[in-house]
Amino acid sequence: MKKFTSVFTTAGAAALLAAGMSFSGAAMAQGDEGLSDSAKAGKEIAFGRGAGNCLACHQIQGGNLAGNIGPALIAMKARYPERDDLEAVIYDARDKFGAQTIMPPFGANGILNDEEIENIVDFLYTL
């Protein structure tokens, strides 16, 4: 089984988030200005404590009470240049990371529908 390794460490990502910087060195927007309606809906799902609740496990710039179980969600277009790959991970991370992953299979278990997953990806691609 292929094991996923990332060049983005939680500590490194936390330092970038604290500095308000992305991997390109550009300042990141703090609010929702410039976000599409779909990205705003995705942010709401990701930051909400309901079905998405991405902050339970991940650090996301602008989020409160972030978890440290999963990697920080930064530079997502660079990490997942193929949109379908990121959607697939959110739909069912077991397909990429194996049965031992602790990320919930949001789509496979009906936690999120396809539109909600697309909205989340739209938001994550702004990070």
The yes-or-no verdict on residue 61 having pLDDT over 60 is yes
pLDDT number for residue 118: 98
pLDDT number for residue 124: 96
**pLDDT, tens digit (0-9, with 9 covering 90-100), for 65-103:** 778 899 999 999 999 999 999 999 999 999 999 999 999
| E strand or H helix at 37 | helix 37-47
What the chain holds in terms of domains, given with CATH numbers, is: 10-23+35-124 (1.10.760.10)
Q: What is the pTM of this model?
A: 0.74
**pLDDT, tens digit (0-9, with 9 covering 90-100), for 109-124:** 999 999 999 999 999 9
The yes-or-no verdict on residue 5 having pLDDT over 50 is no
- The partner residues of 83 in beta bridges, in order of sequence, read none
| E strand or H helix at 114 | helix 114-124
Minimal CA–CA distance to 58: which of 13, 110, 113, 6?
13
